[in-house]
Chain A
Amino acid sequence: MNEPETEQTVAAAEIAISNLLRVGVLLSAAVILAGLLLLLATGRSGYAAGFYPTAPVAILRGAAAGKPYAVILSGLLLLILTPALRVAVSILLFLRQKDYLYAGITAAVLAVLAISFALGKIV
């Protein structure tokens, strides 16, 4: 019976994952809120009507220039990255616990995500 020990390491991993999600969510919410307030205060999006940047580089550049729509999009980008980051960090946590089976399973999930993203086909 080595149950207590594994239980403890699982608990530690759960707290780490929960904290990572919290940081990702709070940070993205703060950026989105800042962008929305900027939009409501200035009344303009920073771009021509019906247009907004879609490439990550253009989004970050627009945010740096203080354009409201680009600030909101940067926050959304952070929100989208959070679950993918969560999977990546889980691999490290399982490795540190020497739980190679689950490190492998999680690595497989990340690989499939990467493939689907590269193909641009997943819906």
Chain B
Amino acid sequence: MGLEISIIFGISILAGLLGALLGLGGGIIVTPALTLLLGIPIQHAIGASIVSVIATSSGAAIAYVRDRITNLRVGMFLETATTTGAISGAFIAGLISPHYLYIIFGLLLLYSAIAMIGKARQEIPAAVRAHPLAERLRLNGEYFDMTLGRTVRYPVSGVYGGFGLMYVAGVVSGLLGIGSGILKVMAMDMMMKLPLKVSTATSNFMIGVTAAASAGVYLIRGTIDPGIAGPVALGVLAGATCGSKLMTRMKSTTIRKLFIPVLMYVAVQMLWEGWVKR
């Protein structure tokens, strides 16, 4: 039992570290590692993965909110879209075949990855025009960038597109049972043109809320096995705490270089799920 716990612990530290840097829940690491490496049943792996999303979110948000990298208003505003999306997703789950959805979202992510390569050298978005609604909702913000050594002021554009994509991200998590941190970062980065650090920090802040609602249900259903989810939570918290300290000292272009391969990996995984595993 001691060895298994240390393996789970190690995997979880890595998941928390990467999750904090990229604004994801770490489920893309925890779920396959637990099922493939340790042979843990998928239901218990999913239960542990939902715990890892909450641990990453809360663990990283402590630093990101305090250092004012998270845009609280953007987060709160977009959470209305993701939570309603998640409910709609859960309701229409029986109506649509998940295979098509996996393929659609796999292609969407693949397209985003290619579009991101074009932005690979961009440190801070340039020439962004604030959306009138962003002014009214006071979404435009600023943060102190430690690597650049200056305060970055940024306007928010594409409010409707971002809100729509957030709703879709919620639907996807409701339908497919996956955390959609990757789609949340995409919505803020590509649509709303936020600086990448603000996007990943705000995504981190948001993913915990939707995950908490589902985790309660998972707990009552008995999918959260304490022997697995316990060490996962501790490992992820440790990893996310280190990751959030690391992120402030990294360049956005470096974070993007990490993000693109992860995006491609998830895209291929989804296409595989939709096409091959039918």
Q: Is the CB of B65 within 8 A of A83?
A: no
Which of chain A's residues 56-83 have a Cβ closer than 8 Å to chain B?
A: 56, 69-70, 72-73, 75-77, 79-83
Q: Is the CB of B225 within 8 A of A80?
A: no
Bound complex: CA A120 to CA B173 (Å): 14
Q: Which of B51, B93, B229, B234 contacts A29 (CB 8 A)?
A: B234
Bound complex: CA A33 to CA B232 (Å): 11
A36 within 8 A of B: yes
Q: Is the CB of B237 within 8 A of A121?
A: no
B220 within 8 A of A: yes
**Proximity string of chain B (51-83) to chain A, C-beta cutoff 8 Å, 1 when within and 0 when not:** 100110111011101101010110011011001
Q: Which residues of A contact B63 (CB under 8 A)?
A: 18
Q: Which of B1, B73, B213, B225 contacts A117 (CB 8 A)?
A: B213
B214 within 8 A of A: yes
Q: Which of A43, A45, A105, A116 contacts B87 (CB 8 A)?
A: A116
Q: Is the CB of B62 within 8 A of A22?
A: yes
Q: Is the CB of A35 within 8 A of B230?
A: yes
Q: Which of B137, B173, B220 contacts A55 (CB 8 A)?
A: B220
Q: Which residues of A contact B226 (CB under 8 A)?
A: 35, 45, 52, 69-70, 72-73, 76
Q: Which of A18, A113, A115 contacts B212 (CB 8 A)?
A: A113
Q: Which residues of A contact B231 (CB under 8 A)?
A: 36
Q: Which residues of B contact A39 (CB under 8 A)?
A: 227
Asked whether A80 and B219 contact (CB < 8 A) given A14-B65, A121-B91, A123-B90, the answer is: yes
**Proximity string of chain B (87-115) to chain A, C-beta cutoff 8 Å, 1 when within and 0 when not:** 10111010000000000000000000000
Which residue of B58, B61, B73, B234 has the most chain A CB atoms within 10 A of its CB atom?
Answer: B58
Which of chain A's residues 5-61 have a Cβ closer than 8 Å to chain B?
A: 6, 10-11, 13-15, 17-18, 21-22, 24-25, 28-29, 32-33, 35-36, 39-40, 43, 45, 52, 54-56
Chain A to chain B contacts (Cβ below 8 Å), 26 pairs: A14-B65, A14-B68, A14-B70, A25-B58, A25-B62, A35-B226, A36-B230, A45-B226, A73-B226, A77-B219, A79-B58, A81-B212, A82-B58, A82-B208, A82-B212, A83-B57, A84-B212, A101-B137, A108-B80, A115-B87, A119-B87, A122-B174, A122-B217, A123-B86, A123-B90, A123-B176
With A70-B226, A82-B54, A86-B58 known, 9 other A-B pairs at CB within 8 A are A21-B58, A75-B230, A80-B219, A86-B209, A106-B76, A112-B83, A115-B87, A119-B90, A122-B90
What is B's interface to A at a CB cutoff of 8 Å? 1-2, 5, 51, 54-55, 57-59, 61-63, 65-66, 68, 70, 72-73, 76-77, 79-80, 83-84, 86-87, 89-91, 93, 137-138, 173-177, 208-217, 219-222, 224-227, 229-231, 233-234, 237
